[in-house]
Structure 1
Amino acid sequence: MNNKSKIYVAGHRGLVGSAIVRMLNKKGYKNIVFRTSKELDLRDKFAVDSFFAEEKPEFVFLAAAKVGGIVANNQYPADFIRDNLLIQTNIIDAAYRNNVKKLLFLGSTCIYPKLAPQPLKEEYLLTGLLEPTNEPYAIAKIAGIKMCESYNRQYGTEYISVMPTNLYGENDNFDLHTSHVLPALIRKFHEAKENNAEFVEVWGTGTPKREFLYADDLADACIYLMNNYTGNEIVNIGVGEDISIKELAGKIKKVVGYTGEIKFDTTKPDGTPRKLVDVKKLNLLGWRATTTLDDGLEKAYNWFIENEFTKIN
């Protein structure tokens, strides 16, 4: 890509897409196109075809997806598999028919088997059963990976697939019922501080370990790979380190400035004991994450106060 290349970011309002737009702007790429979901329904093949024929983007970041937590995945499995398959299929096929130079497809680490060894290596894909709660979403993402591979093989396209670890940052979801653990804890500790609550309750024992990547680092990695990687093999994107939920809660408590107690509700589920991606391939390609968890939490908390907490209240 050069600074005149026409770049389409699908899903530009989400956590990932918005980070990619910010990073593209920061790096001097100014010819960026996007549409809101009201302006362009990516599930509508005719609408997607018309958009590509009109705009003729040269590069595509496919960050658009229907996403949600365990509850949403359990309640709406048909929506998750249908909508994601439609979005991916429409964009990937339109990109091919409109001579897009390169496309980057964003998957998820939920594509890996539930019982895969840790850390998760790229070659573990399709070696075992998936986590049942998000199987429809994971299967849609695997289909996207295989679609990119198949178009490359049959049509000589340059479509690459990346698998990010757990993300956080600007434009995250801070809803206590549907968000992931990190943004949920930021909101819980902030509200406890505001209300002078004696303690904050955290689900489980606090012993499970998770890896967290700041969204702007993911965006930087995606742009780096768009410019420096071509191949059919998927690439994990992460930091290569994890932290226990107990340690994470302690860090967020400190960032927020909450002085009460942390109580762990051991009647609630812990989930998977550990989820860490192997980033050797990414590091060998020449990219490493630069945002520390402490710095990222400060940024995420400040964004929450300035943007989300005012809306909530």
Structure 2
Amino acid sequence: MATNATSQPLDRSARVYVAGHRGLVGGAIWRRLEAEGFTDLVGASSAELDLRDRRATFDFLGSVRPKVVIDAAARVGGIVANSRFPADFLSDNLQIQVNLMDAANSVDVDRLLFLGSSCIYPKLAAQPITEASLLTGVLEPTNEAYAIAKIAGVLQVQAFRRQFGRRWISAMPTNLYGPGDNFHPEHSHVLPALIRRLHDAKEAGTPEIVIWGSGEPLREFLHVNDLAAASVFLLDNYDSDEIINVGVGRDIPIRELAELVAGIIGYTGRLVQDPSKPDGTPRKLLDVSRLEGLGWSAETRLDEGIRDTYDWYLRHLDSLRAK
């Protein structure tokens, strides 16, 4: 099923459209492309282009005619948001992917990178999770709608490769964090939510805060700048219909993560677990041996990445409070 796992390096003067370039992932990829000498980058904010609008998406791709498309556009959220709005997560992400890929195909885009998520894998997949685990078991119920949409995106990439010979690829990042993240206390992912809640508790002198779940689930965290570096590396070096994992190959219990964040922020109160709240998947560690075998591995240590993210949060605190 797989084709060659090598590719031609991208032309640094080729036009590259980064879908979602204002978001956490897209913004990091944009910065990485600039740092690597790409000179013709194209982006459109969600206000300028709603990728759920099929006609608008076709018109935009028809006007800019990129040679490379990076799909970093998605409706994302943490366990609370996914549980409350499954229809929105399924519908919006399916529309974004279908419209973008169909439009890219219509203008003969040769290279496209689709960014999925580690949540596509079964809830009880053997650890660490290999790419072969896809579609071998039931999904985690709290985010299965988002996962199904991302699985559909993977299959869509493979379909375009088979039917049209496109050199499109799919990468599955683990849990991401970094500057530009969503720090909403309820609708964000676990790490930025912890940063905000622990910072607020420190500032208010709150003696204790409650952490959802048992604290025992293990999670892997990848700094978004590392994902950006991996994305460009894969576009330069990878051409296969097989998905490829992007992670760090190490995980940490949620309880230890909370303690690490508290130490970096300087919060000295008690952390209390609420086991009545859902834990989600017990463990989700990606096997990154295929990517490391190609010559790439993540560089950012978790403590350094959290400090970097917290520094960014402090610098943007006023604008984040307004959201």
Which among 186, 191, 194 is matched to residue 185 of structure 1?
Answer: 194
| Structure 2 equivalent of residue 60 of structure 1 | 69
Q: Per-residue deviation at 1:193?
A: 1.4
Q: Per-residue deviation at 1:171?
A: 1.2
User: Residue 47 of structure 2: SS of its match in structure 1?
Assistant: coil
Is the Cα contact below 8 Å between 2:89 and 2:146 reproduced in 1?
yes
User: Residue 46 of structure 2: SS of its match in structure 1?
Assistant: coil
Question: Counterparts of 1:276 and 1:236 in 2: how far apart (Å)?
Answer: 10
- Within a 5 Å distance, the mapping from 1:49-198 to structure 2 comes to 49-198=58-207
| Structure 2 equivalent of residue 298 of structure 1 | 307
Is the Cα contact below 8 Å between 2:81 and 2:186 reproduced in 1?
no
Question: Counterparts of 2:84 and 2:262 in 1: how far apart (Å)?
Answer: 32
Quick check: 1:34 aligned with 2:43? yes
User: Residue 37 of structure 2: SS of its match in structure 1?
Assistant: coil
- Within a 5 Å distance, the mapping from 1:185-224 to structure 2 comes to 185-224=194-233
Question: Counterparts of 1:312 and 1:82 in 2: how far apart (Å)?
Answer: 29
Q: Per-residue deviation at 1:132?
A: 2.2
Is the Cα contact below 8 Å between 2:18 and 2:43 reproduced in 1?
yes
Question: Counterparts of 2:318 and 2:281 in 1: how far apart (Å)?
Answer: 30
User: Residue 16 of structure 1: SS of its match in structure 2?
Assistant: helix
Q: Per-residue deviation at 1:50?
A: 1.1
User: Residue 316 of structure 2: SS of its match in structure 1?
Assistant: helix
Question: Counterparts of 1:54 and 1:92 in 2: how far apart (Å)?
Answer: 15
Q: Which amino acid aligns with 1:95?
A: A
Figure out how many residues of one structure are paired with residues of the other and give that number.
313
Is the Cα contact below 8 Å between 2:175 and 2:222 reproduced in 1?
yes
- Within a 5 Å distance, the mapping from 1:231-242 to structure 2 comes to 231-242=240-251
Residues 201, 70 of structure 1: CA spacing in aligned structure 2 closer, same or farther, 3 A cutoff?
Answer: closer
Q: Which amino acid aligns with 1:181?
A: V
Relative to structure 2, which stretch is displaced further, 65-74 or 295-304? 65-74
Runs of 4+ in 1 over 6 A off after TM superposition: none
| Structure 1 equivalent of residue 7 of structure 2 | none
Relative to structure 2, which stretch is displaced further, 223-232 or 86-95? 86-95
Q: Which amino acid aligns with 2:234?
A: L
Which among 256, 260, 265 is matched to residue 274 of structure 2?
Answer: 265
Question: Counterparts of 1:203 and 1:126 in 2: how far apart (Å)?
Answer: 29
Residues 45, 155 of structure 1: CA spacing in aligned structure 2 closer, same or farther, 3 A cutoff?
Answer: same
- Name the TM-score, length of structure 1 as normaliser: 0.96
Runs of at least 5 residues in structure 1 that lack an aligned partner in the other structure: none
Relative to structure 2, which stretch is displaced further, 225-234 or 257-266? 257-266
Runs of at least 5 residues in structure 2 that lack an aligned partner in the other structure: 1-9
| Structure 1 equivalent of residue 3 of structure 2 | none
Aligned CA RMSD, in angstroms, stands at 1.5
Quick check: 1:312 aligned with 2:318? no
Q: Which has the higher contact order (CA 8 A, sep 6+)?
A: 2
User: Residue 172 of structure 2: SS of its match in structure 1?
Assistant: strand
Q: Per-residue deviation at 1:310?
A: 5.3
User: Residue 171 of structure 2: SS of its match in structure 1?
Assistant: strand
What are the Cα deviations for residues 128-185 of structure 1, in whole angstroms up to 9, with x where unaligned? 1122222222111111111111111111101100000000001111111111111111
Q: Per-residue deviation at 1:73?
A: 2.6
Is the Cα contact below 8 Å between 2:140 and 2:281 reproduced in 1?
no
- Equivalent pairs: percent with the same residue? 53
Relative to structure 2, which stretch is displaced further, 303-312 or 182-191? 303-312
Q: Per-residue deviation at 1:309?
A: 5.1
| Structure 1 equivalent of residue 259 of structure 2 | 250
Question: Counterparts of 2:203 and 2:318 in 1: how far apart (Å)?
Answer: 11
- Name the TM-score, length of structure 2 as normaliser: 0.93
Q: Which amino acid aligns with 2:214?
A: T
Question: Counterparts of 1:170 and 1:3 in 2: how far apart (Å)?
Answer: 25
| Structure 2 equivalent of residue 21 of structure 1 | 30
User: Residue 84 of structure 1: SS of its match in structure 2?
Assistant: helix
Question: Counterparts of 1:25 and 1:186 in 2: how far apart (Å)?
Answer: 29
Question: Counterparts of 1:206 and 1:251 in 2: how far apart (Å)?
Answer: 13
